[in-house]
Amino acid sequence: MARLKNMAGRAEEASLLLQRARPQRGAARAHSHSPGQRFLFVLALLTFGLASVYTSLALLTRVTPQLFPGQNFTLGGALPNLARIGITAPGANSQVNQRINLLIIGVDKRPQYRELDAYLTDTIMVATLDPVAKTVNMLSIPRDTYITIHHPDGSKYNRRINESYGVGVKTGGSFESGARQLEYDLQQNFGIEIDSWVLLDFKGVEKLINAVGGVDVDIPYELSVGEWFYSDDDINGTWLVFPSGMQHLDGYHAVAFGRHREYDNDFQRVKRQQLVVQAAVQKLLARGLLNNPFDLWDAYSSTVKTDMSKAKMAGLAPLVMQTQGRMKTFSLADPVDGVPTLTSYTDDAGAAVQLYDPENVQYILSQVFSKAAYADSHVEIQNGYGDGGDARAAALGRYLAYSRGLPAVEIGPDSPQPAPHTTIILYGEERRDMAEDIAKWMGIPASDIRVEPRVSVTLPDVIIVVGRDFKMPGG
pLDDT-derived band at 221, boundaries 50, 70, 90:
confident
120-124, 185-189, 211-215, 289-293, range with greatest mean pLDDT: 185-189
Looking at the structure, tell me whether residues 59 and 151 fall in a common domain.
yes
Contact between 353 and 345 (Cβ < 8 Å): yes
Cα 395–chain centre separation: 26
Rounded CA-CA distance 67/64 in Å is: 5
Do 426 and 280 share a structural domain? Answer: no
229 and 296 share a domain?
yes
Q: How many CA atoms lie within 13 A of 202 on its CB side?
A: 28
Q: Are residues 156 and 274 in the same domain?
A: yes
Is 9 a domain residue? no
- Which bin fits 443, alpha (ψ -120 to 50), beta or left (φ > 0)? left
Say what the pLDDT of residue 402 is: 84
Do residues 259 and 391 both lie within one domain? no
420 inside domain: yes
Lowest mean pLDDT among 109-113, 291-295, 323-327, 466-470: 291-295
139 belongs to a structural domain:
yes
The answer to whether residue 473 is domain-embedded is no
Q: Quick one: pLDDT at residue 285?
A: 66
Check whether residue 204 and residue 304 sit in a common domain.
Answer: yes
Straight-line distance from the first to the last Cα atom of the chain, in angstroms, rounded to the nearest whole number:
27
Domain count, the chain: 2
Q: Is residue 472 part of a domain?
A: no
Q: Is the pLDDT of residue 474 over 70?
A: yes
CB 108 within 8 A of CB 121: no
Same structural domain, 279 and 400? no
Domain termination residue (choose one: 368, 386, 401): 368
- Specify the higher pLDDT residue, 104 or 380: 380
- Is the Cβ–Cβ distance between 208 and 46 less than 8 Å? yes
Res 403: pLDDT: 83
Domain extent at residue 388:
373-466
The answer on 48 and 191 residing in a single domain is yes
- 171 phi and psi angles, rounded to 5 deg: -85, -35
Q: Is residue 1 part of a domain?
A: no
For residue 63, the number of C-alpha atoms closer than 13 Å in the C-beta half-sphere is: 28
Mean pLDDT of the chain: 73
CATH of the domain at 435: 3.30.70.2390
Q: Are residues 320 and 381 in the same domain?
A: no
Report if residue 345 sits inside a domain.
Answer: yes
HSE at residue 210, side-chain half, CA atoms within 13 A, is 15
pLDDT at site 333: 87
pLDDT at 143: 83
- Long-range contacts, 112-117 (Cβ 8 Å, 24+): 112/234, 113/22, 113/24, 115/24, 116/169, 116/173, 116/174, 116/175
Beta-carbon-side half-sphere exposure of residue 251 (alpha carbons within 13 Å) = 18
- Among 29-33, 237-241, 371-375, 421-425, the least confident range: 29-33
Q: How many CB atoms neighbour CB 215 within 10 A?
A: 26
Instruction: Summarize the confidence of residues 339-348 as an average pLDDT.
Output: 92
How confident is the model over 76-107, as pLDDT tens digits?
233 333 333 333 434 433 344 578 898 988 77
pLDDT tens string 45-61: 444 454 444 433 333 23
pLDDT at residue 125 above 80?
yes
Mean pLDDT of 454-470: 95
The CATH number that applies at residue 90 is 3.40.630.190
330 and 389 within one domain: no
Interval 247-288: pLDDT, tens: 999 988 888 887 766 554 555 665 676 677 778 777 776 764
- Tell me which range, 10-14, 185-189, 212-216, is most confidently predicted by mean pLDDT: 185-189
- Domain end among 368, 396, 418: 368
* pLDDT greater than 70 at residue 329: yes
Are 315 and 409 in a shared domain?
no
- Would you state the pLDDT for residue 1? 35
Tell whether 151 and 173 lie within a shared domain: yes
